Amino acid sequence: MASSSGELTIIGYIQHHLQNMTFGKLPAGYHRHASGHHEAEVLTEPTWTLARSSEEAFDMGFWAFHLDTLAWGIILGSLFCFLFARVAKKATIETPRGIQSFVELIVEFVNNVVKDTFHHKNKLIAPMALTIFCWVFLMNLMDLVPVDWLPSAAMMVTGDSHFFFKVVPTTDPNATLGMSLTVFGFMIFYSIQQKGALGFIKELTLHPFHSGKIYIDIFLIPVNFVLETVSLIAKPISLGLRLFGNLYAGEMIFILIAAMFGAGLILGLMAGALQWIWAVFHILVIVLQAFVFMVLTVVYMAMAYDTGEDH
């Protein structure tokens, strides 16, 4: 986060804000460089620890945990559950007011989307769509918190001026791809449940090209399998990366605007105006991306239930 002279640099500032608080395992003999109030050291045995730099986070490999993403995801998910459960417990048949009116509006909105998109019977789809929309929206909403507030508070609490702390879970591809892979798992499960294992295999091998003649189809099956497999795998990847890309870009713009505050009075005043303008516009992005993730999830569930030959 600082240059060799100890001064803060723009590149270091940006890189610090984009780095997750990573907990992972470093191998024996690993050389750890000095960082903040930590001294340089050589590990004598494999050690689970917090990464002090982006290089250490990378060297921890696949089995590393982004504690800030996990913590904020759990906190915001719990907030959603607590809020909706409290409203449901105190709901009345009278004219709804306050938070009950707001919750009922969201539930009705999601329910209408599911009815218009999913024309089958499954009691799980509507609650899943509601959970996805509200959870993703709350995680996206953290992008409107000024980028320095919570990371600076974490630095003050820990006493480490190099402490990593990201607050927007959806700017972490591990979170967005994790959700999309869960949706993908449900899609595969319902596809096999509704069509059977043989029907699912036929879906991958006899579409989109199918002549009805075995001596021709035998040559088309490999082509179909490659095309359908790529199309199938692309669904969770595109679902997760779309959400990540939009929120990551928005976070990057907020960070760049925040960096302008330290570049003089004129740029600081411009940054203040740009921050408000971008925040207002970003509200649309936050809501839209939650909506898109929810709608595509429902669409994929409907595709899983579709047993017709023209899907």
Query: Any idea where the domains of the chain sit in the sequence?
Result: 10-65, 68-305
Read off the pLDDT of residues 249-272 as tens digits, 9 standing for 90 and up: 999 999 999 999 877 788 889 989
Position 308 confidence tier, pLDDT thresholds 50, 70, 90: low
d(CA 64, CA 25): 7
Is the per-residue pLDDT at 6 higher than 60?
no
d(CA 189, CA 182): 11
- Report the catalytic residues: 238, 242, 246
d(CA 14, CA 258): 10
The predicted pLDDT at position 214 comes to: 83
d(CA 154, CA 45): 29
**Starting at the edge strand that comes first in sequence, how are the strands of the sheet with 65-66 ordered?**
47-50, 22-26, 65-66
| Alpha helices per DSSP H over 91-172 | 98-117, 125-141, 149-158
Picking from 178, 304, 287, 186, the residue whose alpha carbon sits closest to that of residue 237 is 178
Picking from 62, 263, 255, 81, the residue whose alpha carbon sits closest to that of residue 167 is 255
Question: What is the helix, strand, coil percentage profile of the chain, to 5?
Answer: 70, 5, 25
Residues in CB range of 189: below 8 A, 6 or more apart: 304
Position 213 confidence tier, pLDDT thresholds 50, 70, 90: confident
SS3 25: strand
**Mean pLDDT score, 103-122:** 95
Residues in CB range of 223: below 8 A, 6 or more apart: 209
Tokens read off for 32:
């750890």
SS3 213: coil
> What's the pTM value of the predicted model, to 2 decimals?
0.91
d(CA 258, CA 143): 13
The predicted pLDDT at position 221 comes to: 92
**Mean pLDDT score, 24-40:** 89
The predicted pLDDT at position 98 comes to: 82
Picking from 75, 262, 100, the residue whose alpha carbon sits closest to that of residue 168 is 75
Q: How far apart are the first and last CA of the chain?
A: 52
Picking from 186, 193, 66, the residue whose alpha carbon sits closest to that of residue 129 is 186
**Mean pLDDT score, 190-219:** 90
Is the per-residue pLDDT at 230 higher than 70?
yes
Residues in CB range of 266: below 8 A, 6 or more apart: none
Q: At what angle do helices 214-260 and 10-18 cross, to 10 degrees?
A: 130
The predicted pLDDT at position 145 comes to: 94
